[in-house]
Amino acid sequence: MIPLLPKVAAFLSRPQGARIGGAEVMADGMLDVRNPSDDTTLAQVAACGAHEADLAVRAALRTFDASWRDMAPDDRSRRLWRLAELIDIDAPGFCMDDALDNGKPFAKA
């Protein structure tokens, strides 16, 4: 097995809340995320329910109503390109997370 990247190991080592409106929200319960290839626990994540879903919908509507809808197309384009750059920078970590979560070889991710 390929050793975990430090960023991935740090991320998986602590319980993860839901990201809602730019903040981490912990739910009442936690769920184990399991590696399907060997059934080990990878991480614990918030077991979100109706309350968290409502918070997420309200946060998304605020964001859409306040900024994205009225943003000039050039500004939207710049933000999307910046998001792509950030994803590219952390691509190895995203690939490792994807491989672990799906139980597939890292090279396939």
Q: How far apart are CA 44 and CA 1, in angstroms?
A: 21
Kind of pairing between the strands at 30-34 and 41-46: antiparallel
Residues 84-102 have pLDDT tens digits of 999 999 999 999 988 988 8
Residues 1-49 have pLDDT tens digits of 678 999 999 999 999 999 999 999 999 999 999 988 889 899 999 999 9
Residues 43-81 have pLDDT tens digits of 999 999 999 999 999 998 887 766 777 889 999 999 999
**Amino acid identity for residue 107 in this structure:** A
